[in-house]
C-alpha cells in the first residue's frame, strides 16, 4: 500500500481510486467555517448577499451540482432518501441544503470505503451538526453512533446577544459493532492530582492511598487478621490488587500478596495507627481515559510554530488522539478534505498509511512542503491527479479554471499567488521576485493566466499595460494553447526587461501546449524569501520589495493566508519559495 495525495474532486477520487472496504479510519473536516455569516445559508440564491457571503457561496450554493447531488441522494433510497427529501421540503433550495446534499452523497460513498472494523469522525460546528447527524444516522445506522465529541476550539468568544461559541463537534460513527478501539489516556488535571495525590514518599514520589479491602465479609484468607488488622470486624474483607501499573503481578494467595506488597513498599501505614492502605503512585498511572469533552488540546496560536496559514487548521494533537484511539499501526487513514495536511502528518507520525484528497492545488503544495520540513527522512508517497501532459491540463482548464490558474502559476515557482473574485484580479495572478544587482531594488515579475480558447492579442496588450501600471520589470502571460503571431508581436512591443540578467523580454508568452514539448521561458534567478518581506507591518524587512497587503491576516473561508487590501482578495504564499516569518525573525 502506498501513501497517496490526490488532487481532484473527492467524490470522483473516492469512486474511481479508493477500493471499497479498504479504509480503517476516516477523518473529515469539510469547508464549513464557523467565522462565516451562517444566517445567509438559509436564504435562497435570489436573496441579496454581502461580498463576504458571496465568497462563501462559491463553495456551497444551490445550482446544477447541488441538484445533481440531490438526485444521487434520492437514488440511495431508504432512510437517506427520505431524510434528504424532508430536509429539502423544510430548507428549500438554500445554501444549507446545497451543503447537505453534497455531504450526503460523499458520506454514503465514504461509508462504502470503510472496513467492517472502521470508524469515521466528521468535524463540524453546531450550525450544521444536527443536520449532519440525521444524515449519518441514516447512512451508518443510529446504532453505530458512538459519540458526539466536543472540542473547545477557543478560550473565549465575545457575543453581544448569545452564549460565546467556543466549541466544535466531532461526530463519531463506526461501520459495525466490532470496531477498532485503543484506550488513549490524557494527563490528569492539576486540581485532581493536588486533591488526591497529596502524599510523598522518601524519594519524592507522589501517591494517593487506595483501599486494601472490599465491602462485605468473606471466609478464608480474605477474612482473617493480618498484621493486627481484621477486616471482618468492620464488615469488609481483604482485596489487595493482583496487578498494578507496570504489569507486575502479585502472589495469588491473599496473605502472601499483602506480605509481598509490604516488602516492596507498596503498603501505607498511617502514623497514628489505623487500617493500612495501598500506595498508588502518580507516575505509575497512565492518566484518565479520553473523554467526550476535549479541553486539554488548545487551538493553534496565531504565531504558533505549528501554524502554516490555513484559518481552519486543526492542532496535530487532536488528530493524533483520534488516530491512536481508532486505528492501529499500519492501518489506512483517509482524509477526503485534507487541506493543509494535518491528518496526513499525524498519520505519518503514528506509523499509519494514509490517503489525502483535496480539490486545491495549493493544498498539494502545502502538504509537500510540510512533509519535507517536518520529517528527518522524507516520507514516501505519490501524488495523483496533477496534470502531467497537455490533455490533462486542458481537462483541468475546462473543469476548474481557478485551479488551472493556480497549477499554471506553480509551474514557475511564484513567491505569491493572488486569489481575487468577480473581476477584481486587475490582471495579476502571481508574483515572482528576483535579485536585480547590487544597489538596486529587487525585480518583480507578474503572471497572468488564461485557460480559455479565445485568447488573443488584446489580452496580451492589456497585460503589458498592467506591467506598466504596476511598475513591474517583467511579466509571464500563460495561456493554454499556442500563441498566435499577433500575440507574439504584442509581447515583443513591450521591449526588453530592465534587469542585470541579460536580454530578457519584458513580456513573455508561455503556452502550456509548448511547455509540455520542452519550451520554457527565460527567467532570472529566483531566491527563497521570508514572508516578513511581504508585510507592510515590517517595513525594515520589506524595504527592498513592493509593499503588498499583509498576508498574515485571516481571510474569507477556504483561503489560506489573506490580505488587508481590496475586498475579495487573498494573497497566498508558495510554501516552497517563501519561508514563514517566524523563521525569519
The mean pLDDT value for 520-527 works out to: 91
The chain-wide mean pLDDT, for the chain, equals: 84
What does the alpha-carbon distance between residue 430 and residue 412 come to, in Å, rounded to a whole number?
A: 10
- Per the model's pLDDT, the better-predicted residue between 394 and 125 turns out to be 394
| Displacement of CA 467 from its chain's centroid (Å) | 37
Banded pLDDT at 48 (limits 50, 70, 90): very low
Q: 84 by DSSP, 3-state: which? A: helix
What does the alpha-carbon distance between residue 59 and residue 486 come to, in Å, rounded to a whole number?
A: 38
Indicate if the pLDDT at residue 148 is higher than 70.
yes
> How high is the pLDDT of residue 543?
39
363 and 308 Cβ atoms separated by less than 8 Å: no
> How high is the pLDDT of residue 448?
95
What does the alpha-carbon distance between residue 116 and residue 254 come to, in Å, rounded to a whole number?
A: 44
Q: What ranges in 499-556 are assigned the alpha helix state H? A: 512-515, 539-542
Q: Does domain 391-584 have CATH number 2.60.90?
A: no
**Of 544, 508, 516, nearest in space to 529 by CA:** 544
> Which residues, in sequence order, are CB contacts of 141 under 8 Å at separation 6+?
none
> How high is the pLDDT of residue 548?
39
Indicate if the pLDDT at residue 224 is higher than 70.
yes
What does the alpha-carbon distance between residue 396 and residue 446 come to, in Å, rounded to a whole number?
A: 22
180 and 332 Cβ atoms separated by less than 8 Å: no
Indicate if the pLDDT at residue 545 is higher than 70.
no
Per-residue pLDDT tens digits for 262-319: 998 899 998 877 889 999 999 888 888 999 999 999 888 776 677 776 667 899 999 9
> How high is the pLDDT of residue 532?
65
What's the grid cell of residue 262? 509490604
Indicate if the pLDDT at residue 35 is higher than 50.
no
> Which residues, in sequence order, are CB contacts of 494 under 8 Å at separation 6+?
464, 467, 475, 505, 506, 507
- Per the model's pLDDT, the better-predicted residue between 421 and 201 turns out to be 201
60 and 95 Cβ atoms separated by less than 8 Å: yes
184 and 321 Cβ atoms separated by less than 8 Å: yes
> Which residues, in sequence order, are CB contacts of 21 under 8 Å at separation 6+?
112, 113, 114, 115, 116
What does the alpha-carbon distance between residue 313 and residue 341 come to, in Å, rounded to a whole number?
A: 9
Per-residue pLDDT tens digits for 66-118: 999 999 999 999 999 999 999 999 999 988 899 999 999 999 999 999 999 99
Topology alike, domains 4-41+114-185+291-384 and 391-584: no
> Which residues, in sequence order, are CB contacts of 377 under 8 Å at separation 6+?
none
Phi and psi at residue 268, to the nearest 5°? -100, 120
- Considering the segment(s) 4-41+114-185+291-384 as one domain, its CATH architecture is 3-Layer(aba) Sandwich (3.40)
> How high is the pLDDT of residue 126?
87
- Per the model's pLDDT, the better-predicted residue between 94 and 508 turns out to be 508
The continuous run of DSSP H or E covering 490 comes out as helix 485-492
Banded pLDDT at 255 (limits 50, 70, 90): very high
- Per the model's pLDDT, the better-predicted residue between 533 and 301 turns out to be 301
Q: Lowest mean pLDDT of 170-179, 476-485, 520-529, name the range.
A: 520-529
Indicate if the pLDDT at residue 37 is higher than 60.
no
What does the alpha-carbon distance between residue 545 and residue 532 come to, in Å, rounded to a whole number?
A: 11
> How high is the pLDDT of residue 564?
34
Q: 503 by DSSP, 3-state: which? A: coil
The continuous run of DSSP H or E covering 122 comes out as strand 114-124
What does the alpha-carbon distance between residue 241 and residue 239 come to, in Å, rounded to a whole number?
A: 7
> How high is the pLDDT of residue 384?
95
Q: 114 by DSSP, 3-state: which? A: strand
Domain locations in the chain? 4-41+114-185+291-384, 190-284, 391-584
What does the alpha-carbon distance between residue 126 and residue 132 come to, in Å, rounded to a whole number?
A: 10
- Per the model's pLDDT, the better-predicted residue between 1 and 576 turns out to be 576
What does the alpha-carbon distance between residue 31 and residue 35 come to, in Å, rounded to a whole number?
A: 11
For 376, other C-beta atoms within 10 Å of its C-beta total 4
DSSP string of 434-483?
E---TTSPPEEEEEEEE-SS---HHHHHHHHHHHHHHT-SEEEEEESSPP
| Displacement of CA 111 from its chain's centroid (Å) | 20
Per-residue pLDDT tens digits for 432-473: 999 988 888 889 999 999 998 889 999 999 999 999 999 999
> How high is the pLDDT of residue 547?
38
- Per the model's pLDDT, the better-predicted residue between 358 and 533 turns out to be 358
User: What is the percent of the chain where pLDDT is above 90?
Assistant: 60
What's the grid cell of residue 515? 511547455
Most confident of 113-117, 296-300, 335-339, 532-536: 113-117
Indicate if the pLDDT at residue 38 is higher than 90.
no
Place of cell 457571503: 53
What does the alpha-carbon distance between residue 375 and residue 437 come to, in Å, rounded to a whole number?
A: 36
Residues linked to residue 236 through DSSP beta bridges, in sequence order: 215
Banded pLDDT at 131 (limits 50, 70, 90): very high
> How high is the pLDDT of residue 520?
93
Question: Rg of the chain over CA atoms, in angstroms?
Answer: 31
Residues linked to residue 278 through DSSP beta bridges, in sequence order: 210, 267
> How high is the pLDDT of residue 426?
67
The mean pLDDT value for 212-228 works out to: 92
What does the alpha-carbon distance between residue 261 and residue 266 come to, in Å, rounded to a whole number?
A: 5
Banded pLDDT at 554 (limits 50, 70, 90): very low
| Displacement of CA 542 from its chain's centroid (Å) | 30
Amino acid at each position: 500500500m502506498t501513501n497517496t495525495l490526490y488532487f481532484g474532486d473527492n467524490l470522483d477520487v473516492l469512486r474511481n481510486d479508493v477500493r471499497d472496504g479498504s479504509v480503517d479510519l476516516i477523518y473529515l473536516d469539510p469547508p464549513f467555517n464557523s467565522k462565516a455569516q451562517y444566517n445567509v445559508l438559509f436564504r435562497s440564491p435570489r436573496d441579496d448577499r454581502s461580498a463576504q457571503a458571496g465568497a462563501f457561496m462559491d463553495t456551497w450554493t444551490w445550482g446544477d451540482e447541488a441538484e445533481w447531488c440531490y438526485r444521487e441522494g434520492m437514488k440511495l433510497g431508504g432512510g437517506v432518501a427520505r431524510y434528504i427529501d424532508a430536509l429539502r421540503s423544510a430548507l428549500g433550495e438554500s445554501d444549507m441544503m446545497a451543503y447537505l446534499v453534497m455531504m450526503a452523497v460523499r458520506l454514503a460513498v465514504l461509508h462504502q470505503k470503510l472496513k467492517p472494523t472502521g470508524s469515521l469522525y466528521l468535524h463540524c460546528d453546531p450550525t450544521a451538526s444536527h443536520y449532519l447527524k440525521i444524515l449519518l444516522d441514516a447512512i451508518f445506522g443510529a446504532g453505530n453512533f458512538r459519540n458526539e465529541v466536543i472540542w473547545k476550539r477557543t478560550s473565549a468568544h465575545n457575543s453581544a446577544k448569545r452564549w460565546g461559541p467556543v466549541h466544535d463537534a466531532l461526530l463519531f460513527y463506526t461501520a459495525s459493532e466490532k470496531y477498532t478501539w485503543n484506550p488513549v489516556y490524557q494527563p490528569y488535571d492539576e486540581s485532581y492530582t493536588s486533591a488526591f495525590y497529596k502524599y510523598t514518599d522518601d524519594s519524592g514520589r507522589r501517591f494517593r492511598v487506595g483501599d486494601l479491602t472490599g465491602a462485605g465479609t468473606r471466609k478464608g484468607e480474605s477474612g482473617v487478621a493480618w498484621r493486627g488488622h481484621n477486616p471482618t470486624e468492620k464488615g469488609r474483607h481483604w482485596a489487595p490488587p493482583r496487578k498494578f501499573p507496570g504489569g507486575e503481578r502479585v502472589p495469588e494467595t491473599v496473605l502472601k500478596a499483602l506480605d509481598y506488597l509490604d516488602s516492596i513498599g507498596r503498603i501505607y501505614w498511617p502514623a497514628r495507627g489505623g487500617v493500612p492502605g495501598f500506595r498508588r503512585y502518580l507516575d505509575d498511572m497512565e492518566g484518565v481515559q479520553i473523554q467526550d469533552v476535549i479541553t486539554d488540546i488548545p487551538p493553534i496560536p496565531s504565531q504558533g510554530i505549528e501554524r502554516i496559514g490555513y484559518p481552519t487548521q486543526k492542532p496535530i494533537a487532536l488528530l493524533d488522539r483520534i488516530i491512536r484511539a481508532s486505528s492501529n499501526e499500519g492501518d489506512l487513514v483517509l482524509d477526503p478534505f485534507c487541506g493543509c495536511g494535518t491528518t496526513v502528518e499525524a498519520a505519518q507520525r503514528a506509523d499509519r498509511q494514509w490517503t489525502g484528497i483535496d480539490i486545491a492545488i495549493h493544498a498539494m503544495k502545502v502538504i509537500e512542503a510540510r512533509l519535507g520540513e517536518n520529517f528527518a527522512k522524507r516520507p514516501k508517497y505519490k501524488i495523483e491527479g496533477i496534470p502531467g501532459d497537455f490533455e490533462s491540463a486542458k481537462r483541468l482548464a475546462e473543469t476548474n479554471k481557478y485551479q488551472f490558474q493556480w497549477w499554471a502559476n506553480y509551474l514557475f515557482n511564484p513567491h505569491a499567488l493572488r486569489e481575487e473574485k468577480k473581476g477584481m484580479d486587475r490582471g495579476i495572478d502571481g508574483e515572482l521576485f528576483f535579485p536585480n544587482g547590487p544597489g538596486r531594488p529587487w525585480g518583480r515579475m507578474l503572471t497572468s493566466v488564461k485557460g480559455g480558447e479565445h485568447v488573443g492579442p488584446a489580452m496580451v496588450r492589456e497585460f503589458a499595460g498592467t506591467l506598466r501600471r504596476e511598475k513591474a520589470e517583467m511579466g509571464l502571460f500563460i495561456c493554454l494553447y499556442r500563441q498566435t503571431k499577433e500575440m507574439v508581436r504584442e509581447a515583443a512591443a513591450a521591449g526588453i526587461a530592465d534587469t542585470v540578467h541579460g536580454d530578457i523580454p519584458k513580456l513573455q508568452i508561455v503556452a502550456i501546449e509548448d511547455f509540455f514539448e520542452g519550451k520554457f521561458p527565460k527567467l532570472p534567478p529566483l531566491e527563497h524569501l521570508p514572508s516578513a518581506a511581504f508585510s507592510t507591518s515590517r517595513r525594515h524587512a520589506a524595504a527592498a520589495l513592493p509593499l503588498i497587503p499583509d498576508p498574515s491576516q485571516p481571510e474569507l473561508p477556504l483561503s489560506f493566508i489573506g490580505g488587508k487590501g481590496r475586498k475579495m482578495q487573498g494573497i497566498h504564499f508558495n510554501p516552497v519559495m517563501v519561508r514563514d516569518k517566524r523563521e525569519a525573525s
